[in-house]
Chains A and B, each alone.
Chain A
Amino acid sequence: MVGEDFAAVLAAAQAGDEMAFSRLWRDGNPALLRYLRVLAPDRAEDIASETWVRVVRGLADFRGDEMAWRAWLFTTARRRLVDDARRRARRPEAPLDEDAAARLTEPGDAADAALERIGTQAMIQLLARLPRPQAEVILLRVVGGLDTETVARMTDRSPGAVRVAAHRGLRRLAEIMAAEGVTL
């Protein structure tokens, strides 16, 4: 999160300041990728890139605080994700998400990587094993930093359904971690 500088950074970016936009991008892109790598692992970079093209074009008209910014960013990404899934559904030869997710859960070669890298990637792999709605809700809440009501609006569900999905997803994660002795 950009934090208390957000309003100034946003205003500068809207006025064309590259460094300000860079700050927004560097804050937002890792979060977007962590969301997308769970839901569309083999297309995450492309969808993130398409998301930023949309965001750049709408940037001057955006109004809101950092929560609204985050909601817009992830809403835009989610639309690209849905469009992408539709395109892929029309092209059955395209690899399915499940295959990519399965590949991701294979033991990696990350033993000598930085600690947070292991933790982050391990969590992405774990989340990819959850039912998609549960994984998405958890990601939007944690990585997106969005509240229940915002996630509910984004996903066309009731806040209660969002809470239940988060609850079930966390419980499923607990079961996986317990069953496999996962320690991050």
Chain B
Amino acid sequence: MTDLGVPDDDMPIFSRVRREDVSATGDTSLAAMLDQTEPPAGMEAVAEALAALLAAPLGDELTGQAAAMAEFRQWFGVSHQPRRSRRRRSTLLTSLLRARAAAAAAAAALCLGGAALAAYTGALPAPVQRLAHDVIGAPSPKSTSHHPARSGSPTGPKVTGPAAFGLCNAYAHAKEHGTPEGRDVAFSKLVKVAGGADKVTSFCSGVQHPGTSATHRHQSGKPSSHSHGQQPAHHTGPPAHPTDPPSAHPTSRR
């Protein structure tokens, strides 16, 4: 398998979070990054869209289970074991569904809300967040000591700059599909800045898409045209993931 021929000098360079600015303000919350981050053109939308790959199982993705279970039973010689009760089966299913409901809801909110900054708030599923971290310099998915911007208690994004657009979108979506309490830290700030819950809508109507003035995101098909930011601080170095490399390797049998 060979890599396909895009010349190396064609690689995009994305603008970065200016970490020194974050530390200079003394605000170590993730929210501080939001005000100072110009999301890479188009890439944040891709990262969010990728979350759809982690949505709850679709019906036809589970249809092969009977065959797999039959193979398992035959190989392990457990066909004589009593079947588990329907009750236990449904309990397992329920817990599976419950465990995934949050992920699915998050993916749905991202898809609909168009919250441009999910990758920068760490709101994406961990695998997507890790990829975003590696590729576009978004924060890594877990709070660690070497990511000071992610430490500290959540204060929610500041409701200025590009964060406002994403927050307004997310707020509108949450309101439409229930109540926005789930994100109360961020939303309470939005409400506060707007001057009350009843004023959020009118506040948000005045918020511009962060790409409006820069003609990036969907308007621009060329992320590299947006490379005025600083060179990545850790783009080429090994990412400091708390989770990798794996401590064990598969003992594969052929």
- Using a CB–CB distance below 8 Å, which chain A residues touch chain B? 3, 16, 18-19, 21-23, 25-26, 29-30, 33-34, 45, 48-49, 52-54, 56-59, 61-65, 67-69, 71-72, 75-76, 79, 114-117, 119-120, 122-124, 126, 131-134, 138-139, 141-145, 147-150, 155-157, 161, 163-168, 170-171, 173-175, 177-179, 181-184
Contacts and interface: CB of A to CB of B under 8 A. Distances in A.
Interface stretch (B88-96, B160-168, B186-194, B198-206): B88-96
B24 interface: no
B43 A174 contact: yes
A65 B61 contact: no
Given A119-B52, A179-B221, A72 B252 contact: yes
A115 B52 CA distance: 9
A164 B254 contact: no
Contacts of A164: 3, 11
A177 B42 contact: yes
A22 B69 CA distance: 7
Contact of A177 (B71, B218, B243, B247): B218
A82 to B, nearest CB: 10
24 contacts: A16-B78, A21-B72, A25-B65, A29-B61, A49-B64, A63-B248, A64-B249, A69-B250, A71-B246, A72-B251, A114-B58, A116-B107, A116-B108, A124-B53, A133-B4, A139-B53, A141-B131, A142-B128, A149-B245, A155-B1, A171-B12, A175-B223, A183-B45, A183-B111
A19 B91 CA distance: 11
A71 B249 contact: yes
Contacts of A165: 3
A64 B250 contact: yes
B52 A116 contact: yes
Given A29-B65, A67-B246, A138 B50 contact: yes
A138 B151 CA distance: 28
A52 B43 contact: no
B121 to A, nearest CB: 18
Given A122-B52, A177-B45, A52 B136 contact: no
Contacts of B67: 49
Contacts of A79: 254
A64 to B, nearest CB: 4
Contacts of A115: 108, 111-112
A149 to B, nearest CB: 5
B2 interface: yes
Nearest to B79: A18
A48 B104 CA distance: 23
Given A116-B52, A170-B47, A177-B218, 18 more contacts: A16-B77, A21-B69, A25-B65, A64-B251, A67-B247, A68-B247, A71-B246, A119-B55, A119-B108, A141-B131, A145-B126, A147-B130, A147-B244, A148-B239, A149-B245, A150-B244, A174-B223, A181-B218
Nearest to B49: A184
Given A18-B78, A23-B96, A147-B245, A141 B57 contact: no
Given A22-B92, A56-B68, A142-B127, A30 B58 contact: yes
Contacts of A33: 61
A106 to B, nearest CB: 18
Contacts of B128: 142
Nearest to A57: B75
Contact of B65 (A22, A61, A138, A150): A22
B135 interface: yes
A117 B13 CA distance: 33
Q: Chain B CB within 10 Å — which of A57, A123, A156 has the most? A: A123
Contacts of A145: 126-127
Contacts of A16: 76-78, 81
Nearest to A174: B42
A53 B76 CA distance: 12
Interface in B8-52: 11-12, 41-43, 45-52
Report which residue of B51, B65, B99, B253 has the largest number of chain A beta carbons within 10 angstroms of its beta carbon.
B253
A124 B55 CA distance: 12
